[in-house]
Every structure is written in structure tokens, then in C-alpha cells.
Copies of this chain bind each other. A is one copy, B any other.
Amino acid sequence: MTGLENIPDIVVSRLPIYLRALSYLREDRVRVTSSELGDYLGISSAQIRKDLSHFGGFGKQGTGYNVPKLVEALRKILKVEREWAVALVGAGAIGHALSHYDGFADYGFRISMIFDNDPAKIGAQINGFEVYDAAHLAELIPQRNIALAMLAVPPEAAQQVADALVQAGIRGILNYAPINLVVPDTVRVQYIDPVVHLQRITYYLTEPPEAPEGG
């Protein structure tokens, strides 16, 4: 594990996919070859071997990878061998969906607090979480030692909330608002926008269908 700072982002982007697939596999088996993993993920086995070789390599040609060991190694590389407290800002439809997502704990995350600025929502419970007043972000986030936030507010509010989160010490934001955020270089942002992902599909579709009838 040397030279981590030089790993291309595209390689990093595949590591969570490998971890997720291997975590499922782990229930059934102890070893997997790069070919088997590649077939499952639709990624070439050469790509998988090359990606993992950045971190020292974890298998020998022919014998495959030890699944539990590779899972542990990937959890360390992605720094999710521990649990990260996450603030969720926005108790609307996306916030509700995220509060019900039950995959966080297995992969290193835990929603710690939910914030909103709507008086009708503040103090209410969402899936067992109390909703706090977003005006108190600045005190509560450092108190709880929260480093990550999921931002699920309307686009017109997103930049202002992001500024407040950065002020409060947040170092990574998962942004569901469909706008680009301007943040200091020290803060990482990831974007989730269905339109962006749908366009990455339509780009490859060669024959658009005719306009749908009715509906």
C-alpha cells in the first residue's frame, strides 16, 4: 500500500463496487477469481487485477482472492473499518428515503442527526430520528463529531446550507440537490442526481424510440 495519493479517481470509484459485491459473496464462499468477479460486475478481470494492484495486489493468478481478507483490506482502504456519523440535512422525500435506507451500518456509516428548517418538521420523528433545527447546525455538528453530511434540500437552498456545513467542520458532502456546490478544496463532494445518471445511459442508446402515445 504505497503511493495512495496517486490512485486515479476512476480506480477509487470502483473500490466500493468491489467491496459491495465481495460482501455479498462472502456469505457463500471464501475464494473468488478476478474472472468470476468481473463476470458478475461486467468489468474485465484485467481491470480488476490492475485496480487492486495499486494497493499491493491481493491474489495470485489462478488461485483467486481470499474474499474475507479482500473485504477487510477494502474496508481499510476506504476507511470504513470504523463507523462514520453522518448528518442528514433535509427531511423531505429524499430525506425520508435516506432515513429508511438500511444499508448504512453494514458499510461504515450511521445517520447521527437529521436537520430541517421547516417549523412543522422540527421536533418531529422520522423513522426514530428527531428532526433538529438547521439553525443549530453550527453547534450540534462539532459536538457530535460529525464529519459527513447528506444534503437533501431544495436546490435554491443547497449552497447556503453547504456553506453552513463547511463552517461546522463537515469534510464530505453527499449532495442530492441538483446543483453544483462551491466548497473549499479541503471538502469532498459527491453528487447524486437521477438526471445525470439517466443521461449517462441515453448517451449510449442509439435509436431513440418514437414519442410515446398517451401516458
Question: Is A15 in contact with chain B by the CB < 8 A criterion?
Answer: yes
What CA separation (Å) do A99 and B215 show in the bound complex? 15
Question: Is A119 in contact with chain B by the CB < 8 A criterion?
Answer: no
Given contacts A198-B84, A198-B172, contact A215 B112 (CB under 8 A): yes
Q: Is the CB of B188 within 8 A of A204?
A: yes
A158 CB, min distance to chain B CBs, angstroms: 12
Q: Which of A19, A20, A172, A196 is packed against the most chain B CB atoms within 10 Å? A: A196
Question: Is A48 in contact with chain B by the CB < 8 A criterion?
Answer: no
CB < 8 Å neighbour of A180 from B41, B82, B84: B41
Contact with B along A65-81 (1 / 0, CB 8 A): 00000000000011110
Copies of this chain: 2
Q: What's the tally of chain A residues with a CB closer than 8 Å to chain B? A: 78
Q: Is the CB of B180 within 8 A of A190?
A: no
What CA separation (Å) do A12 and B202 show in the bound complex? 11
Q: Is the CB of A182 within 8 A of B40?
A: yes
CB < 8 Å neighbour of A201 from B144, B148, B197: B148
A150 CB, min distance to chain B CBs, angstroms: 7
Q: Which of A79, A203, A215 is packed against the most chain B CB atoms within 10 Å? A: A203
Q: Is the CB of B109 within 8 A of A205?
A: no
Q: Is the CB of A213 within 8 A of B150?
A: no
A31 CB, min distance to chain B CBs, angstroms: 19
18 A-B pairs, CB-CB below 8 angstroms? A10-B10, A16-B193, A16-B200, A21-B180, A77-B203, A93-B93, A98-B194, A103-B193, A107-B199, A108-B195, A108-B199, A145-B211, A146-B212, A147-B208, A150-B198, A172-B201, A190-B198, A190-B200
Sorted nearest first, the 4 A-B pairs with minimum C-beta distance are A172-B201, A93-B97, A16-B199, A190-B197
